[in-house]
């Protein structure tokens, strides 16, 4: 059975889930062609996307990129440092076994971010 890719975002400046943040998932072409948009969505009240970003037969081994629009998010929250350092956070990663589940969380403030492969 194929796996899935999920994500969530935590606003470390406020200590709360990042709600209504725009998130895009791209398939990264290795031949230099433009990346292919797979899904665009916004996070919910828990900082998560509704459902997996990609799953089932559409989920395959390859290189993906999640793009988090953190500048827009902090600007909407009227954070005084919005867009002074981070505008978007792109996270490129490789899926080598699409049968597994992959969770890529983002912990972010206007000045820094961290990510990891979760479960």
- Going along the chain from its start, the domains and CATH numbers come out as 4-115 (2.60.40.180)
Is the separation of the CB atoms in 29 and 36 below 8 Å?
A: yes
For 49-78, what is the mean pLDDT?
A: 97
Q: How many other C-beta atoms lie within 10 A of the C-beta of residue 112?
A: 12
- Taking the whole predicted model, whether its pTM rises above 0.85 is answered as yes
| CA proximity to 68, closest of 51, 88, 41 | 88
Query: Do 86 and 79 meet the contact criterion of CB atoms below 8 Å apart?
Result: no
Say if residue 113's pLDDT is above 80. yes
pLDDT at site 68:
98
What is the mean pLDDT of the segment spanning 43-58? 96
């Amino acid at each position: 059975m194929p796996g899935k890719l999920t994500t969530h975002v935590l606003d470390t400046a406020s200590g709360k889930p990042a709600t209504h943040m725009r998130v895009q998932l791209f398939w990264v072409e290795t031949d230099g062609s433009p990346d292919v948009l797979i899904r665009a969505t916004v996070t919910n009240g828990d900082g998560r996307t509704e459902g997996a970003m990609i799953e089932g037969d559409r989920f395959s081994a390859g290189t993906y990129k999640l793009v988090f629009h953190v500048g827009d998010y902090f600007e909407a929250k009227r954070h005084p440092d919005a867009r002074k350092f981070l505008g978007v956070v792109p996270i490129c990663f490789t899926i080598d076994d699409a049968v597994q589940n992959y969770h890529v969380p983002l912990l972010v403030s206007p000045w820094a971010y961290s990510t990891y492969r979760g479960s």
